[in-house]
Structure 1
Amino acid sequence: MGRVTTNRETRNEPVLITEAQPSLGDQHAARKKRYVITMLIRIVSVMLAAIFYQTLWLMAIFAVLGTVLPWIAVVMANDRPPKKKVDVNRYEVPAPDRILEARPSAGRVIDSEP
């Protein structure tokens, strides 16, 4: 039987704790909080639409907002957090084995001593 290698065994760089994703519980709590806040804004906008029923344009704005916000809240609650951008060059690059020497420029004369 062949040995199964994991990603950790084949990786040369150390795993940084700052690259760790938030736990699923933390992600779920953040999504619930966003959903509740959005729905509270919806309740306020529906109440404001009822209060401003005599001003038609203001009532229409609050009514549309109260109608659209549940859809936005559900989409935001089901969305996952964005992936973190990983900086590829975060580690020092080892020095090369050999270094090329600079060539003299064409217009420059180098004196050579015999």
Structure 2
Amino acid sequence: MKKHPERPVLITDAARSQDDQLRSRQIRYVSMMSVRALCLILGGVLISAQVPLLPVWLVLCALGMVLLPWMAVLIANDRPPKTKEERAADAAAREDVRRALTPPVEEPDYITIDSEVVDEARRRTD
């Protein structure tokens, strides 16, 4: 029986290294640009082969050649999504900044009149 190598156990909450993130973004970019090159080659082959519905296929190839570079750049420059802990830490930091910039509200001193004391004062004067 063949043993499968076990994947390493994750023992940290640290994010992936910058090199790993860059490498995965580069792979996504190159694969998307390869699809763009395939759209260009496919468009040339379709024109020479005189296939049915040629305008539809050429429009799809042209859309791929125009939209894929734009999408590839956006995806390649995007960072990995934040974890719940990172979002919570960001929210706490924003709350701390908001509290530091907001002046404290002072409560006005309200005058409380005790009716029993007033009644006793009236009895004494009567």
TM-score bin (small chain): 0.5 to 0.7
Question: By percentage of residues, which structure has more helix?
Answer: 2
User: Are 2:11 and 1:40 aligned?
Assistant: no
Structure 1: which 5+ runs fail to align? 1-15, 89-114
Highest CA radius of gyration, 1 or 2? 2
Identity of aligned residues (%): 37
What's 1:98 paired with? none
For residue 73 of structure 1, what is the aligned residue in structure 2?
Answer: 72
* Corresponding residue number in structure 2 for 1:61: 60
Residues 76-95 of structure 1: CA distance to partner in whole angstroms, max 9, x if unpaired?
11000111234x9xxxxxxx
Q: Which amino acid aligns with 1:33?
A: I
Moved over 2 A (4+): none
2:95 matched residue in structure 1: none
Tell me the secondary structure at the aligned position of residue 20 of structure 1: coil
What's the TM-score once normalised by structure 2's chain length?
0.52
> How many residue pairs get matched?
71
TM-score by length of 1: 0.57
Q: Contact 1:50 / 1:59 at 8 angstroms: preserved in 2?
A: no
Task: Give the equivalent residue in structure 1 for 2:96.
Answer: none
Residue correspondence of structure 1 range 1-114 to structure 2 within 5 A: 17=12, 19-53=13-47, 54=50, 55-86=54-85
What is the rounded CA distance, in whole Å, between the counterparts of 1:37 and 1:65 in structure 2?
Answer: 13
CA RMSD of aligned residues (A): 1.7
Q: 5+ residue gaps in structure 2? A: 1-10, 89-126
